[in-house]
Structures are given as C-alpha cells and as structure tokens.
C-alpha cells in the first residue's frame, strides 16, 4: 500500500497534536516543582503523574492502531479491549465493549483489531460533545454504535472515510477517517457507516 508524503505528514501532525497536551503538562508540573516547591509539590506531582499516564495510554494505543504490532494475527482480544478502555478512560466518551465480542470470525481476521482501534479513535473524534461508543457483534463482523450530540461524519470526513477524497484535500481533521478506511481495505475488510439518527452514527466492519 503506497503512502503519499502528505498523508504521512498529516498522520505525524495528528500524533504530535494528540500527545503535546499531556507531555506539556508533565513539563509544566516539573517546572512548578523547580520554581515554587513547598506546598505545591503534591499538586504538581499529581499533575505529572496524571499527564504521564495519559500520554502512556495514548502511546500504547497508537502503537497498535498505527504501528506494525497491530498487523499481527495473534493479538489477544482482551488486551486490545483493555487498551481501548484505558485510552478513553477519564474523557468525555464512554466505551462499552462486552467480554464476548467481537465474535471469533472477525476477531481472528488479520488486521481486524487494528482497524477496530482506528474505528474507536474515529468514534471519539466524532463525539465533540461526548457520548458513548458501544460494540455490537454481527454475523460476519461487528458494529460500533456512536451516540451523542451531533454524532456524525462531516462531508469532508465522510469522503476521506469512503476513500473518495483527494489527497490534497485531506486535513488533520479528516486524516483519521482516511487512515481507518485504508487500513480496512489493506486487510481485505469492508468498512461502512450509517446514520440512523441525528445523534447516532454506526461504523460497521465486516469480512469482505
């Protein structure tokens, strides 16, 4: 699968954007301890600890969602579920991922769990005001029900998701949708979406 330089640049921009906040908070906490000390040490150490944990959780998910590790065939579903739960922990989006889902047929498909993590990242980005993401098993795949205020794919993001957008038109906001669709296609999976209601978006993954 060939990658355009612009796609690589946008992905790098997205990763830096997602990590700069917790890493900056760690740096601010350290500076607070160094400059003031005293009574603020406990508060600063909590800031450092929370931010370090946040950055670590995001890096753990990014390693599977974007890196080579996610392309392996022996990823345990329970580990991937835990990574997804920790990624969203403490945020505005709640994840419901039952222990017995997804069903084995799709879970064992090479790259499926990688694509599912990308679907979760896309789901979070689609919930600007917060909401819920729920995994539901299907006969030959699974469905993420994304529910919350204005849960939807904007036209430019939808075009990126469908693979119909021009590379030149991609932006940091639409690059996740583009990457999710491309990963699914690369692994021989079918990725579709539906909008059953104004505040509900369904992302559907099936074996092609």
- pLDDT score for 34: 67
- How far apart CA 72 and CA 126 sit, in angstroms, is 28
Predicted pLDDT at 52: 78
Beta-strand relationship, 200-207 and 141-147: antiparallel
Domain extent at residue 173: 5-207
Long-range CB contacts (within 8 A, 24+) of 47-54: 50/25, 51/22, 51/23, 51/25, 51/26, 52/22, 52/26, 54/22, 54/25, 54/90
pLDDT at res. 75: 81
Whole-prediction pTM: 0.84
Measured between alpha carbons, how far is 64 from 114 in angstroms, rounded to an integer? 6
* Model pLDDT for residues 159-176, shown as the tens digit of each residue: 999 999 998 899 989 999
State the pLDDT at residue 106. Answer: 86
- Asked whether the predicted pLDDT for residue 38 surpasses 70, the reply is no
Q: How many domains does the chain have?
A: 1
CATH number at residue 116: 3.30.565.10
């Amino acid at each position: 699968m060939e990658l355009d330089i612009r796609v690589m640049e946008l992905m790098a921009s997205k990763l830096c954007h997602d990590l700069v906040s917790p890493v900056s908070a760690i740096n601010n906490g350290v500076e607070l301890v160094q400059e003031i000390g005293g009574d603020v040490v406990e508060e600063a150490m909590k800031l450092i600890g929370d931010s370090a944990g946040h950055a670590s959780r995001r890096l753990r998910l990014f390693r599977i969602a974007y890196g080579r590790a996610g392309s392996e065939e022996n990823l345990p579903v329970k580990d991937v579920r835990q990574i997804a739960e920790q990624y969203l922990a403490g945020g505005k989006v709640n994840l419901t991922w039952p222990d017995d889902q997804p069903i084995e047929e799709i879970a064992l498909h090479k790259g499926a769990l990688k694509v599912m993590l990308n679907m979760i990242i896309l789901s979070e980005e689609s919930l600007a005001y917060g909401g819920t993401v729920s995994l539901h098993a299907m006969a030959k795949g699974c469905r993420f029900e994304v529910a919350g205020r204005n849960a939807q794919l904007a036209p430019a993001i939808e075009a990126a998701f469908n693979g119909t957008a021009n590379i030149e038109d991609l932006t940091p906001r639409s690059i996740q949708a583009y990457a999710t669709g491309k990963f699914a296609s690369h692994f021989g999976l079918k990725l579709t979406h539906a909008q059953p209601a104004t505040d509900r978006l369904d992302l559907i993954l099936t074996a092609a």
